[in-house]
Amino acid sequence: MELRTIETNVTPEVNDIGVAVKKIMINYKEATKDGFQAGQDIPAILMGSYQDLLKAIEDADKVGEEFNIEPFKASIGVLVPVSEGLEVLLKKDEQ
C-alpha cells in the first residue's frame, strides 16, 4: 500500500473541532468496554469530553471564514484528529 504524507497549517479553532470528536470516540471506547449501558456510559462519554467540546463550541464561530477560504486545508485540520480517534476506536483490544 502506498502512503502519502499530507501536511497543512490550520488555525487551532479548526483543529479543536477534530480533537473534540476524537476525544468522544476515545471516551466511547473506554466507557463501553463492558457493553453499552446508557445511564452510565453517556454521562461518562460526555463529561470526559466536556472541556474539549466546550472549547470547540466556543470557537466555532471563528472557523467559517477558514472553511470558505481554504476548505481542503480546513477539512484536513478536522479529519486528522478524527481519523486518529477512529484508529483507537477500531483497534482490537489485546486480551
Do residues 36 and 47 touch, judged by C-beta distance below 8 A?
A: no
For residues 31 and 44, is the Cβ–Cβ distance under 8 A? yes
Return the number of other C-beta atoms located less than 10 Å from residue 92's C-beta: 5
| pLDDT given for residue 6 in this prediction | 75
Q: What is the pTM of this model?
A: 0.82
Amino acid identity, position 6 = I
CA distance 52 to 67: 20
pLDDT tens, position by position, 6-60: 788 888 999 999 999 999 999 999 999 999 999 999 999 999 898 888 888 888 8
Residues sharing a CB contact under 8 Å with residue 84, sequence separation 6 or more, in sequence order = 22
Residue 5 has pLDDT above 70, yes or no: yes
